[in-house]
Amino acid sequence: MLYFWPLKDPEKGPASVLSFGGIKILLDPGANDLLSEFVELDFTPDLILFSHSDVSHVGSFVHGFKYYGWHDVPTYATLPIFNMGRVTMSDCYKNIMDNSISVKDIDKAFDSIITLRYSQPISLSGKLDGISITAYNSGHSLGGTIWKITKDSENIIYCINWNHSKDSHLNGSILYSNGTILDALSRPTTLITDAMNSNISIPSRKKRIEAFFDSIKNTFAQQGSILIPTDAATRSLEFCWILDRYWQQHNLQYPIYFLSHTGNKAISYAQSMIEWMSDSVISEYGSSGSVFEFTYVKVIANEFQLLTMVSGPKVILATSPNMDCGFSQKVFLDSIAKDPKNLVILSQKSIYYQNSLSKDLLDHWNLAVKHNDQPVPPAVALNFNKIVIIRTSVPLVGSELEKYQEKEKLHREKETAKLIMEFQNKDLFDSSDSDLNDDNNSNHRKTHFRNDSMIVKGSASLLSPNIHDLYLQTNEIKRMSPRFKMFPTLEKRRRFDDFGEIIVPEKFFRVTEEDLEFNINNELNKSINSMTKKRKWTGVPNNIEDGNIDKDVNIPSKTIITEEKILIKCSVRYIDMEGLHDGKSLKTIIPMVNPRKLVLINSSQEARDNMMATCRSLTSFTDDIYSPFQGEILKIGIKLNSYNLKLSDDIINTLRWKKLGDYNISHVIGKLKLSTDPTEIDLPILEILPMHSNIRNVPQSHPLFVGDVKLTKVKQFLQEQGHIAELIGEGILLCDGLVTVKKIGGGKVILEGGVSQEFYDVRKIVYDSIVEFL
């Protein structure tokens, strides 16, 4: 049976669990920007799947990997999520100044992810045997994924945060393309999706882009600056792209800054993943490889580089989107909030949580434009006070520093001991090609094992009297050949895509004589400056102006939280740049997918109620529509009895196979033979019925139809044969104005029309789309 339950309030994120008969799949274990709402489980999941690389989808992964034992859980994502997810989490942990998770912890967690391509079916094994997963493009973010999960008769589509429209650098979702639903994603047993924006209408992308740049130009005219709080690696790429393009086209000289601890890495990763971008980007940059080489966008990666920002009008993209921490909060408090000439452009309301600074600004804007009927309401001047929580990092000293160092020492010893034990176990139990059994070799091996054990001397955890070596004096051990001692090493898995091993482009740049001379001069200047211990007259530390410092200095520190009352006098405007579907498209596409069961999560209660009302008003749509609250367990498996058994050779010879989609099926009647030995666990055997007995007891069967009639396919086949066919709504196909094909509940199909050649043509096509057993 199939069970599903959300792990969070549906308004706070998509984290949820899908369960197949004891197999638990964790979907999108996210968190908020402050990482204060981790996903907490009382069990270890059997599989983890990621849909996007932002904090709301991957925020709990590193924490769970380090503290909850998720390191042994198979985890799947596309290559962009594998790369951009680590960028996002590195930036997030730096924003909240959390030293409990290191960059090494983040890399270790994301290195465990198994990457896959779009439309690549993966059949899982072991405990997950029988489950198949496939990733499809969802739009919205680079590598964004719609998951198709199949097991037995269950076909689940998990589709969160998708966009049917194209962005500047992304294709639209493959779910809906050229007016049709992708066959592989149509008519699932269960569709799990969001109802985001179902109750509102979003202006066209053209109007929103125009409003975006009009706001920027108007602010520049007033000698003000623009702050755009954004994420580290998903929608920020879209902003960088459109801003740099616009600056090139209009030859603007105002600076654009992208403030992110991992901004350079995000752009570098994006440059290496052009095949995941839109067709237009691939056609324009496919051969040159210069995609995302920005002319006007400058990355600021640390607080020292903030000193290099010029005064005067500018555009600032800054993390995090909620402005409760990170560069966005710092810039807002220091230079944006108190000046009426400045503007804050909000763009990602779906990830703004209650009481965050961005949510408060959005609420003030919504209240002011409540009665404005413009497609994109204008900016609103603010004037109110707000208490803001500020995080400050302070180096540890005294006893706090000693405790931290002791804790780190114990942690390193534990990790070292673990690596050594893993190395020893691998060394001892690896198979050997030799077959030596003499005593001398055996004695040599015993000495070898004892010497290996001495490696761990000094590790307190392994010298405990409660820990003992395995007794290994067996014939199997005697046959093993001696091995040379080595230092423990773990090789990182090499990553490949369709074009081969993934490389870092910077490693292959051609070095010219000018570059070499410039680097030599820089090194000389560094040496001179460090020897004289002086700074430049600008007051900026050496090399900061050139942006050369982009590495972490891991200084033990703690975070001090203070409150500050600020006066906000800047302007604010909301322009939807999330790259998500709107209400009209949602209410058009979901009925076309036509799931047998629909589950709505990851959206406001108002939006879910609106979508449920729309779906229930459709006569041809399923009545099984759910909107679960946090922790509510839904039993959503289809009502189907399925059993595993063996077929006898005689009955196999009588089967007549018919093709249906990806399957071969056959109708069979037989008699089960059960094992008489209760200790045997073999499957029951289905044997052919003898002709001389039991034939009278065989139930009479009526013609059996297997399959699903898809009206879009019927329409396509009719049009190919010269007929006029059109869908007139509510699951009705009109053919030549004479015959209708209607789908109603329970999988029933009704053909209506007079006796004519058109009627028989339509009936034949309908019959050809299913399998009939007489």
pLDDT of residue 552: 47
Phi and psi, residue 98, nearest 5°: -100, 115
pLDDT of residue 328: 96
Q: Which residue has the tokens 């008769």?
A: 153
Whether 746 and 760 have beta carbons less than 8 Å apart is answered as no
d(CA 46, CA 32): 24
pLDDT of residue 493: 66
Judged against a pLDDT cut of 80, whether residue 555 lies above it is answered with no
* Nearest residue to 636 via CA among 622, 616, 657: 622
Q: Which residue has the tokens 């609103």?
A: 380
pLDDT of residue 444: 43
* Nearest residue to 213 via CA among 231, 229, 191, 228: 228
| Least confident span in 86-100, 128-142, 461-475 | 461-475
The highest-confidence range among 239-243, 391-395, 403-407, 730-734, by mean pLDDT, is 239-243
Which amino acid is present at 26?
Answer: L
Per-residue pLDDT averaged across 700-718, rounded? 77
pLDDT of residue 439: 45
Judged against a pLDDT cut of 60, whether residue 717 lies above it is answered with yes
Per-residue pLDDT averaged across 586-608, rounded? 94
d(CA 627, CA 619): 20
pTM of the model: 0.77
pLDDT level of residue 559 (50, 70, 90 thresholds): confident
For 649-703, the pLDDT digits (tens) are 888 888 888 877 667 888 888 888 877 766 555 778 888 876 655 556 656 666 7
Per-residue pLDDT averaged across 435-449, rounded? 43
DSSP one-letter string for 432-494: -S-----HHHHHHHHHHHHHHHGGGTT-TTTSSTT--PPP--SHHHHTSPP--------PPPP
Per-residue pLDDT averaged across 339-345, rounded? 97
- Percent over 70 (pLDDT), the chain: 79
pLDDT of residue 764: 87
Count Cα neighbours of 155 within 13 Å in the Cβ-side half-sphere. Answer: 12
pLDDT of residue 81: 98
SS3 722: coil
Per-residue pLDDT averaged across 4-29, rounded? 94
Mean pLDDT of the chain: 83
pLDDT level of residue 98 (50, 70, 90 thresholds): confident
Q: Which residue has the tokens 């609420």?
A: 363
pLDDT of residue 144: 97
| Least confident span in 36-40, 160-164, 222-226 | 36-40
> Where would I find the H helices in 225-262?
235-250
Burial 614-637 (b: 16+ CB within 10 A, else e): bbeeeeebbeebbbbeeeeebebb
| Least confident span in 461-465, 685-689, 764-768 | 461-465
For 364-413, the pLDDT digits (tens) are 999 999 999 899 999 999 999 999 999 888 888 888 888 888 888 887 88
pLDDT of residue 656: 83
Judged against a pLDDT cut of 70, whether residue 505 lies above it is answered with no
Output the CA torsion sign for 160, 161, 165, 166. Answer: negative
